[in-house]
Each structure stands twice: as structure tokens, then as C-alpha cells.
Amino acid sequence: MAKQKKPPRPKAETPKGFRDYFGAEVEHRAEMLRQIAGVYRRYGFDALESSAVETVEALGKFLPDVDRPNEGVFAWQEAGDEGRGDWLALRYDLTAPLARVYAQHRNDLPTPYRRYAMGPVWRNEKPGPGRFRQFYQCDADTVGSASMAADAEICAMLADTLEAVGIPRGDYLIRVNNRKVLNGVLESMGLADEGQRAAVLRTIDKFDKVGEAGVRELLGKGRLDASGAYIDGVGLSEAQAEPVLAFLTSRAETPEATLDNLRAAVGGARIGTEGVEELGQIAALLEAQGYGPDRIVIDPSVVRGLGYYTGPVYEAELTFEITDDKGRPRQFGSVAGGGRYDDLVKRFTGQAVPATGISIGVDRLLTALREKGRIRTIERGPVVVTVMDRDRMADYQAMVAELRAAGIRAEVYLGNPKNFGNQLKYADRRQSPVAIIEGGDEKARGIVQIKDLILGAQLAETATLEEWKDRPSQVEAPRGELVARVREMLDAHGIGPEA
């Protein structure tokens, strides 16, 4: 029994940066997750669902957004038996938990361990328009394989997955880079200062937006951005900035040419050469499997924000244009990213365990499909059996039971039945295709009225009086033919039986 404290009325709001998802939104996401899991499974990946809550120490601190409280995670301290307990947090991705799971269960798991996972993750970020603090990811990772074949497989599978969910070839591009190449470039520049290295990486990440000239300015003294604000530069000399620019502009027509350019950009740096070598292996494997540069390319401008990557990094972007909030066209952008993180399991075990994987931003991918009109957005509600006589509820319940048994969504109106108009308004709001009416007169005659609400709406919009008469949207049928006649009506509107 609740205590009767009479507190002030609570606000009916989600916390800032959170939202609710209704009806078709939920179902489309479930369907997309099912499709993605199908591809991952066919590639041999096994399902894993780890807990949403982890200890802060197990998650580690790898988010780029370090200025936020708790470095970007939602965290709290357990009430311990004596004094204070562990700090717990909501997972911010599915990769850090995988490292913990593998370290914990490694004796019971196969090696290599291919696993997929899907579910919400939480980021304690500053909320903004279209930027939510809970969103879905759908990941696949291979733990325990150092082979570049594992990275190539992840890229190929990502291409297959995007096509499976409805992004046609030509509308996406998977860009592959290697952190080692980046590190080689930084090494060949003689940049020892950690802060300056980080500033250079952030600048590289802006290449897509500001282009070669912009990056040149940002690596040097700085530049005026589009809004007129002056952005401070990293402060490198022209000569120092040169390897970065050579690196960024090394993408060429063929993978071979790109690799040659990269080899030049890293100079003789051992780590850089190793990175170029790895990219070469990935490119060769993908080419042999028929994944050409129309799907997967080597692109030096890919950085990826997370701190745990050690080798190849990938990013999938959708290349078609959409219109933004202000009506301006822009490229849709990134929907998935990942890479190799050879040191994440080592944090726990002390032993190096190579690992690589990909994370798909499911909500962004759904938005993309919606923007392209590839998801049917009109949801159809259930058949509504109206209540003409509230003492005959059992009769109406029998009708919906019959309809459901035939795989037809159906419900009895459960509001106050007094006002019949309200019942039809309700059916309209539910986007019901069909309403059933059985008053005392119909009952006596053994018939029901079946109202085609979709046709009714169409006729109301466009029909002439003649058409109204020719195509009545309401028909009488014997009670025994209820299911068959409703099925016909639904079929005519392309609404198939429920799964």
C-alpha cells in the first residue's frame, strides 16, 4: 500500500535527452535488429547479452567527451555493507562490456570468439536536437584473432548487412584506415607532446568538413570558420604540417595507389609501415572476395573518436543526400564504425588478446531508411468491433476471438460506448482498416455491418455521388461470414495476416 504523503504532482516528462518510441517505430527497429542478427549469425557470430550495468572500473574511460561529469557515463555508487560500495555505471557501448565478458569467461568460450550483441547504450552527453542519451547499437566482434582476415571479414559483413536492411549498393561506402598509419605519421613528424598529438588527430577528423586548405590552416595558425568565429590552430610549421596533408590526400583511384601514397607519407616509421602493410592485406582479401572500391575503400581521413583502437578502423557512411532541419541538402553521414582494439582485454588479464569489431547505430540507420522512404510509415491498426449494446459484450468478444484466430488484429471498443460517434473517431485514430457493427436489429437478422474505413476515407476525399453509390464502403454480411468478408476487405488493401 502506498504511503499517503501527498507530494507535489510529479512532472510527466522523460529526463532531458531521453525519449519514447511508439508503435511502428518500435516494430521497425525490432525488425531491423532481426535482419542484422540474421546476417551476423550466418557469418558464424553467436549472440551475447551482457548486463546494462557494469562497474566503472570494468568499463574504463575511453569516451572522447571527457569534459562531461563522470567522463560521459551515468554512474552511481552502491551503498556498501560498511561505508561505500562499488561505483556502477550504465554501459556506454557494447565493446567495453565484451572485453570484460571475454576476460571473465575466456575458459568457457571458443577462441576465436565471434559474438554479436544488440541493445541500448547510454551516454551522459549534453542533450541536443536529434541527439539522445540512450540509443541502440548492434555490434559484431571477433576476439582472439590477430589476422587481418578478421578485419576484412567484419568489413565485408558490414557491407552485406547494410544491403540486407535495404541500403542499396552505391548508397553506402565503408572507409577503412589504420591507427598505426596515423601514429606513424605523427612519429615521422617528431611530435612527442601528447596534447599536440591529440590536437592533430582532432584536426584530421575535420578533413571531411573543412577540406585540405582548412586542415592546413588549422594545423598552423588557425582559421575563421563559417560562423565568423576564429578557431585557434595547432601551431605547427608548414614543414611539420606537410606529412599530415600528404597522408590526408593519399586516397587515390586504386587501393594500390593509395597504399603507395601512404607508404610515402609515413616515411620510414616502423609502426606506420606496419599499418600500411595491414591495410594492404585487408585490401587484397576484400578484392579477392569481390568487395571493390564501390563498397569498401581505404581512406586516410577516418579517425574514430574512441580511445581504445590500436589498428584498422572502419566507418560506414551513407552517401546519399538528405535535407537538414533548415532545408539544406547534406550527406547523411556515418551509421556504423569500429576497429581493432588489441589491448582492451589485456586491461583485465595482463595478456594481450587481439580483437576487432563493428558497431551499427541502429537508430540512425532507421532514420536514413525513413528519409529515403524505404520504410512503410503508415501503420494499420486493428479491426475495431464496436459496442452497440453493452450487455452483449460476450458477443463482441466472440467476434474478435474469431478474427484473431484467423490472424487478424482485432479488438472490442472498451471506452464508454454511449456515443457511437466516439467509437468511430477512436477507430479512425487507431488507423483501423475495418469496423464491425452489430446492433439489436442486426443481431435479430443474424447479420453484421462491415465498414471499410480505408475505402470510406478515400471516397470521402475524392468520390462523386455516383461512385459513392457504386462502391459502398459499408456492407451487410451474415454473421457466419464475418471472418471471410473482413479477410477479403483487408486483402483488397494489401493487409496480410499477422505473423
Residues 88-147 that bind a copy of itself (CB under 8 A): 88, 90, 100-101, 103-105, 110-112, 114, 120, 122, 133-134, 142, 144-145, 147
Q: What's the CA gap between 248 and 437, in Å, rounded?
A: 69
Query: Quick one: 302 or 400, whose CB is closer to a copy of itself?
Result: 400
| Partner residues linked to 412 by β-bridges | 385
Among 21, 213, 419, 471, binds a copy of itself (CB under 8 A): 21
Residue 459 as a binder of a copy of itself (CB under 8 A): the answer is no
Among 315, 317, 411, 452, binds a copy of itself (CB under 8 A): 411
Residue 324 as a binder of a copy of itself (CB under 8 A): the answer is no
- CB 386, min distance to a copy of itself, A: 13
Spatial contact of 358 and 385, defined as CB atoms under 8 Å apart: no
Q: CA 187 → CA 98, 120, 217, distances in Å?
A: 31, 38, 21
SS3 11: coil
Containing H/E element for 332? strand 329-340
Strand order in the sheet with 296-298: 113-122, 134-143, 355-361, 329-340, 312-323, 172-178, 296-298
Spatial contact of 207 and 306, defined as CB atoms under 8 Å apart: no
Burial level of 210, CB count in 10 A (0-12/13-18/19+)? Answer: middle
Region near a copy of itself per CB under 8 A, out of 22-30, 237-245, 323-331, 434-442: 22-30
Among 36, 48, 482, 486, binds a copy of itself (CB under 8 A): 48
Binding residues for a copy of itself, rule CB under 8 A, total 113
Query: Quick one: 25 or 225, whose CB is closer to a copy of itself?
Result: 25
Residues 412-431 that bind a copy of itself (CB under 8 A): 412, 414-415, 426, 429-430
Please name the residue that has the C-alpha cell 518510441. Answer: 21
DSSP 266-321: TTT-HHHHHHHHHHHHHHHHHHHTT--TTTEEE-TT---S-TT--SEEEEEEEEEE
Containing H/E element for 336? strand 329-340
Q: How many CB atoms lie within 10 A of CB 462?
A: 8
Residue 86 as a binder of a copy of itself (CB under 8 A): the answer is yes
- CB 468, min distance to a copy of itself, A: 27
Query: Quick one: 81 or 466, whose CB is closer to a copy of itself?
Result: 81
Query: Quick one: 225 or 428, whose CB is closer to a copy of itself?
Result: 428
Residue 323 as a binder of a copy of itself (CB under 8 A): the answer is no
Residue 294 as a binder of a copy of itself (CB under 8 A): the answer is no
Q: What's the CA gap between 155 and 173, in Å, rounded?
A: 10
- CB 292, min distance to a copy of itself, A: 14
Spatial contact of 89 and 60, defined as CB atoms under 8 Å apart: no
Residues 370-389 that bind a copy of itself (CB under 8 A): 381-382, 384
Q: What's the CA gap between 58 and 26, in Å, rounded?
A: 31
- CB 454, min distance to a copy of itself, A: 17
Residue 408 as a binder of a copy of itself (CB under 8 A): the answer is yes
Q: Phi/psi of residue 268, each to 5°?
A: -100, 5
- CB 57, min distance to a copy of itself, A: 4
Query: Quick one: 155 or 298, whose CB is closer to a copy of itself?
Result: 155
CA torsion, ordered 493, 494, 498, 499, to nearest 10 deg: 180
Residue 457 as a binder of a copy of itself (CB under 8 A): the answer is no
Residue 397 as a binder of a copy of itself (CB under 8 A): the answer is yes
- CB 372, min distance to a copy of itself, A: 23
Residues 251-290 that bind a copy of itself (CB under 8 A): 284-285, 288-289
Among 196, 206, 249, 347, binds a copy of itself (CB under 8 A): 347
Region near a copy of itself per CB under 8 A, out of 56-64, 229-237, 439-447, 479-487: 56-64
Containing H/E element for 155? helix 148-164
Query: Quick one: 156 or 215, whose CB is closer to a copy of itself?
Result: 156
Among 32, 36, 74, 317, binds a copy of itself (CB under 8 A): 74
User: How remote is the C-alpha of 201 from its chain's centroid?
Assistant: 26
Residues 141-200 that bind a copy of itself (CB under 8 A): 142, 144-145, 147, 149-150, 152-153, 156, 194, 197-198
Please name the residue that has the C-alpha cell 496480410. Answer: 496
- CB 472, min distance to a copy of itself, A: 26
